[in-house]
Structure 1
Amino acid sequence: MILCAGESLIDMVPDNGSFRPLAGGSVYNTAIALGRLGEPVAYLWPISRDPFGDVLLRPLAEAAVNTDLCPRTDRLTTLALVTLTGGEARYSFYDEGSAGRMLAPEDLPPLPGHIEALFAGGISLVPDPCGAAIEALIARDGERLPVMLDPNIRPFFINDADAYRARLSRLIARSDIVKLSGDDLEWLHPDVTPEDAARQVLSQGPRLVLQTGGAAGARAHWAGDVVSAPAIRTTVADTIGAGDTFNAGVLASLRRQGVLSKEGLATITADQIAAALTLGAQAAAITVSRPGANPPWAHEMPGANVLSEQQS
C-alpha cells in the first residue's frame, strides 16, 4: 500500500462568475488518483470536522483510499481560491491555523507494516509545524520505505525562501524519486537550464528525477541515458491536478512492475522508467481534458480491458 502524506483543501474554482467548492490539494489529489487507478493507497493528513471535512472524505471513500491515519480536528479546512488564466491555474490560500497546517511531528502515528512506499509534497512542506512533521516522517521511515517527493513549489506561499530551500535540500537527499516541473526547477536553480537543474537535483541522491513540462512531455534523469515520454494530445479544459495525477500514474506503474522498493529502484531499467512515464502521461491527459482535479478511473485508462484480464 502506498501512503500519501500531505495537504488536502477545498479549491474554490471559478464557475460562471462565482466559485464552486471542490475537494483538492496536491497530495490529496494523488491519493485519489491512485485509488481510482485501483492501487492500494492510504492517506495521512488531519481532516476537519467542519462541513468541508465531509466534502474531502467523500471522494477518498469513493476511491477506496484508506483514511485510518487521518485524525479529525475542530480546526478549519484550508481554502484555495483558484483563478484561471489561459487554462493555467493560480492559487491564493487561506491557511492560517488550519486543520492540516497544525499537524506537528509529535502527532505522527507509527506506520502499519503494510505500507510499502511513501509519497509527499505540495504546500504541506512549507509552513511549520506541518512542514516539520512531513520532514520528520520522511526522516523516520524513509530509510525503510521508498520515498517519492513532489514539492510542487508555490513561490507566493513561501515566506522564507532560504529556509525552504534548505528543507527541500534535506528532503531531496532522503528521497528516491523527485518530480519537478519546469517552474520548480527554475525556482530551485534559476541560472541554469532545466536539464542541468535536474541533473543537479539528481546529484543530491535520488535514483530518479522526473522533469515535467506540460505539452513538452516528461523526462527522467537517472544513472543511464535520459528517458523521455511525450505528452498525450488532448483538448485541455484546465491543468488543475495534472501533475498530481501524473505522480499517481508513475507510482502505479512502478508498483505494477514490481520495482516500487529500495531494491527495485536500484536496479530499474530504461524500459521500466519509460512505462512509468507513459502511464503518468496517459492519466494526466484525462485529468486535463475535464474541469478541476478529476483523475481517471481504471476503466477510463488506455488498455483498461487488457489490464483487467491480466489481473483476473
Structure 2
Amino acid sequence: MALPEKVEFIGNYKGWKCYKGFDTLEGKDKLDIARLLLSIRESFNEKIYEYLGQGFDLNFIQAIVDSIIKDEKKISGALYKAKSPTTTKKLSEIAEIKEAKDIAKGLLTEMILEKLGIERLTPEVLDNYLGQKPIEDKGSETVINKNMVHFLGNYAGWKCVKRMEVEDLTEDLDIAMILLSIRESFNNKIYDYMSDKFDMDSLDELVEDIIPKKGRFKEEDIASALSKLNEPEFISGLERISQDKKAIDILKRIATEKTLAGLKLSLLNAKMVEKYIEKKALIA
C-alpha cells in the first residue's frame, strides 16, 4: 500500500494524547516541514524523561546536576564533569550495569544542557522569524482509536515510518525508546529542510573550524569550542551568511547544536535504551 503524502505524529499512551500534523501538504514548503518537525520534537522531549523515569531515579540525577552546576562556573566545566569518573561513581548508586550507566549519563548531560539554558533551535524561534502562529497540538480533538506512538514522514522523496502499538507488555521504557528513535530520524532532516532558506553548507564550514580535530576532548577543548561561538570572528562569519538579525540568531542556535554534537557528548539515543531493555530481560 502506497504511503499517503503526509507528515504527522500521534502519541496516545497513558492519558497523553498528542497529534501534530498538517491537514494537507499542498502549498507547504520545506521550511514549513522543518517547523512541524521542530514542534513535534518539542512536544515529546519531556515525555522521554518521564518514561525513562520508570527505570531511573530522576530526582537523584537532578541532584547531581544541581551539584555540578553549583560547583562549576563555566558550561565547559559542567559538561566535562558530567563524564568524569567521580560522576560515573555517583551514578553507580542507581545504575549498576553499563547499559544503565549509559542512559543515566545521557539523562545527566541533557539535563545539564537544559538547566544551563543553552540556546538551541526551537519552534518558537522559527515561528517568530517566519511570522507564523505555533502549530497546534490537536490531540484532545483528534479521534485516536489505538494506544500507540506513530510517526509518518512522506514528503519530497523522504519516507520514514516509526510506529509502536501499545500491548500488555509495553513499558514506559519502550515508549521512551521509540520517541528517541523518532527524534533521531528527523533531527538532521530539520537542518536539510532549512537549507532552502539558510546556507547550511557555509554554516557547517564555520562549525567545523571551531571543533578540535581529535578523538577525545579535554575540558579546555570544550571550553575553546563553545567560547568561539561568541567570538567576533564567528559572528562575522554568520553575518556573511545573512544580514538579517533574526536569521543570524537562528544560525547561531543551529551552530550551537552542531557544535555540541561534534563534541561527542553523552546524549540520549534509542540504541542505548534498546541495549538496556535487552540486558534487563536477560538478567531477569
With structure 2 as the length reference, what TM-score do the two structures score?
A: 0.25
Q: Whose helix proportion is higher, 1 or 2?
A: 2
- Determine which structure has more spread, i.e. the larger CA radius of gyration: 2
Q: Whose strand proportion is higher, 1 or 2?
A: 1
Q: Taking CA–CA contacts closer than 8 Å with sequence separation of 6 or more, which of the two structures ends up with the larger relative contact order?
A: 2
With structure 1 as the length reference, what TM-score do the two structures score?
A: 0.23
